[in-house]
Amino acid sequence: MIQQSGLSKGEFARLAQIDRSALSQLLDKQSTRLPRIETLVTIARTHDVSLDWLMGLSETGQKDTSVTSAIELQESDHRDEDSILSAWRRESLGQKIRYIPFQLPDIFCLPDVFNYMTKRDKLLTHYRTVQAEQNLSFVERPETDMEIVMPLQRLLSFASGKDIWSELPVSLRRKQLEHLGQLAEQFYPTVRLFLIDGLTTYAAPLTIFGHQRVAIYLGDNFLVLTGNEVINTFITYFDGFIKQAEIHPHEFTDWLMRHCR
């Protein structure tokens, strides 16, 4: 592949967006290291070859590697213990997941908070509680790589019991905030939380599952988008919020304890 490109190893590594030492490890026949999917996609798009050929699944390399963009509406069946979100997360292990929650990050929510949000449906409460346990087990996996962006005002509203949280007991709100702070610190840097100023910036609730799909939250449904160009556009959209962040991951727990008691 490198010989066919006519590039030096250094030039090839630069275009693949990896350092030369990483490329050398990938080329070493004794090495068991596998390239990340993002690296394979970059190489395929840069050199106009297929992913199948790069992975040894096809003898033909020179063909269109663009993934046709697609859009669909996926029902979010909250009554399914193995939720569609859990399945998408598993499929994206080893890739970065970028997440803008609708309210609190579900992966760090206590079951009792789920119970409060779904108190009108006892059966739904059971399944959301099971999902809360699944969410936590996901972030405990070493392959997990997740960035979360949310407005800091959402946490301030939760702490003061405003809006939808007005009937949630103070003791439970405090317990949830302590839980969030502890887990954010425990799982850093696997999971990184960024807070933006919601007064100046609006971030639509969505999740970007690696380079596989974007799921935009629409309540009972997800608007699901696929295709490399579409996904890359949303990655740029998400990364823009990180550049605007008021609070960065290493500051999160300290900020939470000072402002949300």
Q: Is 258 exposed, middle or buried (0-12, 13-18, 19+ CB in 10 A)?
A: exposed
Tokens of 95: 């890739």
The CATH code of the domain that includes 7 is 1.10.260.40
Residue 60 lies inside a defined structural domain of this protein: no
Nearest alpha carbon to residue 99 among 155, 153, 151, 147: 147
- Find the domain containing 166 and state its range: 70-259
Looking at residue 66, its pLDDT comes to 46
- Evaluate whether residue 118 is within a structural domain: yes
What is the average per-residue pLDDT within 22-44? 73
Cα angle, residue 207 at apex, residues 101 and 136 outer, rounded to 5°: 65
Residue 182 within any structural domain of the chain: yes
Beta bridge partners of 194: 149
Place of tokens 């592949």: 1
- Same domain? For 38 and 76 the reply is no
Any domain includes 65: no
**80 domain-assigned:** yes
∠ at Cα 21 (20, 22), nearest 5°? 90
Q: Taking residues 180-186, what's their average pLDDT?
A: 93
Mean pLDDT of 99-106: 90
For residue range 61-79, what is the model confidence (pLDDT) as tens digits? 544 444 455 788 887 665 4
pTM above 0.75, yes or no: no
Whether residues 112 and 211 fall in one domain: yes
Overall average pLDDT of the 87-94 stretch = 82
pLDDT value of position 1: 66
